[in-house]
A and B are shown apart, each in its own frame.
Chain A
Amino acid sequence: MRLLTAAVALTLVVTSAGVAGETVSITLPPESIALDAGRGMDQTQTSCRMCHSLDYITTQPGGGTAQWQGVVTKMMKVYGAPISDQDAKLIEEYLATHYGPR
């Protein structure tokens, strides 16, 4: 398994107030998942990455068109993802083709 690392920056500003004055900062590692190449990949990547990393796709159980239609519809109707109907269809086809039943 590959090991990703990330820096953690901890800044301690000492004040008389004890716990007051502490700032904790972290830097999240970059996203590293890439989707399979194919028709609709660009639209899928652009739309889905507005809210979440692509491992939200790749770790799901593979599903047919009905499953992925359900997912894309939920993203649009429930979470309000701004995806055009035309792109939605392309994305559903892409996902069913590349992340279909395994």
Chain B
Amino acid sequence: MRDRVDEVSRRRFLLTAGVAAATVYGCRLSFAADVDPLLAGRQLVRYPEKTDLILLTARPPQLETPLSYFDRAITPNDAFFVRYHIFPIPTSVDLDQWRLEVKGHVDKPLSLSMDDLKRFPPASVTAVVQCSGNSRGRFAPRVLGGQWGDGAMGNAVWTGARLQDVLKAAGARASALDVTFDGLDKPAFPSVPDFVKALDLQRIMSDPDVIVAYEMNGQRLPMLNGFPARLVVPGWYATYWVKNLSEITVLTDRFEKFWMKPGYRIPDTPCGCVEPGTAPKNTVPITRMTVRSFIASPASGTRVAVNQPVALKGIAFDGGYGIREVQVSDNLGLTWSRATLGPDHGRYSFREWSATWRPTGAGNARLMVRAVNGIGESQGYEPLWNPAGYLRNVIEQIALVVD
């Protein structure tokens, strides 16, 4: 499972990691006991309808899911991450009053109640929603923006009306180009850009998995995850998954307001990256998620016993091609062994994986995980960099202490 390019990249990784090549091929590396410096000072908080989550910011609220929840495919609603851009956010919604307006370049504008929305044939999709800037706090050089650890992601079964059915019912005109989505969150000042996102109409009409979801894991949505309805755009970053949805507008032109441009853009290069510390020449909107995988159990820093099997568990996901393989390494990538994949919940879902590792000697061990998706894309030894801190998908690792 090694190739030349991979090996060159791995050796560079070893050098930059400050590990002398001669000492790596055991599990006896020397490094400090594992403390995540990024999350060390953060509070655990309990918000309405939520369990204990890691506080990034209070207003607008940004809450991160602890890594321990990623040992399973489905993320519980109460542990699901929260990310708003502007404030005030909705804190009370009366379904008798709430309507989803569908307007603009349509033959028949709609004002849908929740009952109306539920009359469309229900569709379900299991899909990962991940913040574009998940793991931004780990960028080097550091970049400004929400300093997330790795918990701005989650996976749920989303149920709702297909967006294409809603747009067909409204008679969206074929000459339209973009469709915009606005929620009940509103700016503090008129000068602050409202959070509005756009999708290409053709993209919507060719993708039956894009839905207006009113259920998450069989329950109504928590308020902070978008009650009463949110957009679900499987495979694409969370920025498009507009919460507390209230307005859908069909446009005859391209929508390029603040949160589409200059917001949420990546370098227009094949990797979406540039030389660290430099600015891209051209940018394009961020869209599809990169391949990632995590070891959620045991937690980094756990003490384990020599010669006793250790059960490794975690998840892998990508932007919609599905996970083909997950591999783990206990020798900094010299060799990789295949993990066992859990049930397949569809190509947009977290894929659970498990593996058994038996430490052969006492000391510090480092375990790495990487995934390969359905079209052969994988993860690198060295992180890619861009100025907004998006698309992170470097090979992740944990440290274990073997006694």
Contacts and interface: CB of A to CB of B under 8 A. Distances in A.
A80 to B, nearest CB: 2
A27 interface: yes
Contact of B147 (A25, A60, A79): A60
B227 interface: yes
A33 interface: yes
A20 B57 contact: no
A19 B118 contact: yes
Nearest to A77: B191
Contact of B43 (A1, A8, A20): A1
Main secondary structure of the interface of B (DSSP, over half): loop
Interface of A: 1-8, 17-33, 50-53, 55-56, 59-61, 63, 67, 71, 78-82
Interface string B77-115: 000000000010001111110000000000000000111
Given A19-B118, A50-B189, A59-B146, 7 more contacts: A3-B44, A4-B45, A6-B48, A22-B95, A29-B58, A53-B57, A81-B191
Given A19-B114, A60-B147, A79 B56 contact: no
A32 B43 CA distance: 10
A82 B58 CA distance: 22
Interface string B296-324: 00000000000000000000000000000
B87 A59 contact: no
Contact of B189 (A3, A5, A8, A51): A51
Given A19-B114, A20-B115, A32-B58, A26 B95 contact: no
Contacts of A30: 58
**Which of B87, B144, B190, B193 gathers most chain A CB within 10 Å?**
B144
A80 B192 contact: yes
A11 B85 CA distance: 27
A53 B59 contact: yes
Contacts of A55: 55-58
18 contacts: A3-B45, A5-B46, A19-B114, A20-B96, A20-B113, A21-B96, A22-B95, A23-B93, A23-B95, A23-B96, A24-B92, A24-B93, A24-B223, A26-B223, A32-B58, A33-B58, A50-B188, A53-B58
A14 to B, nearest CB: 12
Contact of B42 (A1, A3, A51, A71): A1
Given A23-B94, A29-B58, A59-B57, A3 B191 contact: no
B28 interface: no
B47 interface: yes
B147 A59 contact: yes
Contacts of B60: 52
A81 to B, nearest CB: 7
Contacts of A25: 91-93
A21 B115 CA distance: 11
A47 to B, nearest CB: 12
A10 to B, nearest CB: 8
7 residue pairs, one from A and one from B, having the closest CB atoms: A80-B191, A26-B48, A8-B48, A61-B142, A25-B92, A53-B59, A53-B58
